[in-house]
Amino acid sequence: MSNDSIRTRRGPCSVIDLHTHSTASDGACSPEKLVELALGAGISVLALTDHDTLDGIERGRARSAGTGLRFIAGVEIEIDGARALGSRPGSAGEFHLLGLGLSDRREDLESALGRLREERHARNLRMVEKLNRGGIPVTMEELNGIAGGSVVSRAHFARLFMHKRIVSSMDTAFSRLIGKGQPYYEPRAGLAVAEATRLIHAAGGMAVIAHPISLGLRGPALRQFLGDCRDQGVDGLEAWHPNHPLKECRRFQSLASSLGLLVTGGSDFHGEHMPQRKLGYASAGLAIPDALLDSLPLRLQPC
């Protein structure tokens, strides 16, 4: 990690958010609008962590310049779950890795993310074909129109299904159609843990396991897995996330500390597509405090 990292607290109890999405991936807000919402919500530190792309970072950084909001360049990377989780008990989950505090030296990371986007596109074509064979008419043109950016995700499939009145909610789209194990799910390749971590570190960032509840592991299997990830260079765990019940947030925080992993928190904000998620808030309506920054080697944009 770079020695010029900045750790700053603003005020006695300011609120931060280290996991958000914009229209560069599957969020509803442009990077500029996201920053404006964060300013309106009194957020002091904001990380933009779009899926497999860095396209929104410069726009978010430019909008936040001079506002008093500290901006963190980030990303959320798909990890090859089959390779990472292997045959571990309960390994039906998914694995995402956050890169937080990226510098401008990120050419190798950009190249790897480009390969992931190509694989994502190939996966999307397979899903479109499978859906059409199953009697659900979907085109890539429709999906691109829903997405509006360079990344088309399963969330955009779900939104298109809702627009066509095929399902009534995003949750239903995943639980019945395109979630893991469902009839129209198609896997796609991700990066290996060690490779993703190396690329994040080379770009000056820290590597954090996102929403660990999605790994689908518990008890000794989870502890062993997190320890293995730490040994491959992973820096931290996103203990505080709205998908985690409060009890789980506290358990993840304790587990991370016992393994020597740093602890982060984020809302995983997507805007109106997931209205239950609010900027700066994790589980049980609890705000994410800036006290978390005290131990995090993050690069923050100057006010």
**What's the pLDDT at 181?**
87
Distance of CA 74 to the CA centre of its chain: 9
Mean pLDDT of 280-302: 87
Give the mean model confidence (pLDDT) for residues 48-63: 96
What is the model's pLDDT at position 93?
A: 81
Lowest mean pLDDT, pick from 93-107, 145-159, 188-202, 215-229: 145-159
The pLDDT of residue 225 is above 70: yes
Kindly report the average pLDDT of the chain as a whole number. 90
Calculate ∠ Cα 57-62-63, nearest 5°.
100
pLDDT for 238-286, tens place per residue? 999 999 999 999 999 999 999 999 999 999 999 987 888 999 999 888 9
Question: Are the CB atoms for 63 and 36 separated by under 8 Å?
Answer: yes
> What is the reported pLDDT for 299?
66
Q: What is the pLDDT of residue 84?
A: 62
Q: What is the DSSP string of 64-111?
A: HTTSS-EEEEEEEEEB-HHHHHTT-TT--S--EEEEES--S--HHHHH
According to the model, what pLDDT value does residue 189 have?
A: 85
pLDDT (0 to 100) of residue 11: 44
Which residues, at least 6 apart from 253, have a Cβ–Cβ distance to it below 8 Å? 239, 240, 263
Is it the case that residue 294 has pLDDT exceeding 80? yes
Phi/psi of residue 243, each to 5°? Answer: -80, -10
Chain position carrying tokens 């009697």: 135
Give the model confidence (pLDDT) of 3-53 as tens digits: 333 334 444 459 999 999 999 999 999 999 999 999 999 999 999 999 999
Residue-wise pLDDT for 121-152, tens only, equals 999 999 999 999 999 999 999 999 998 777 89
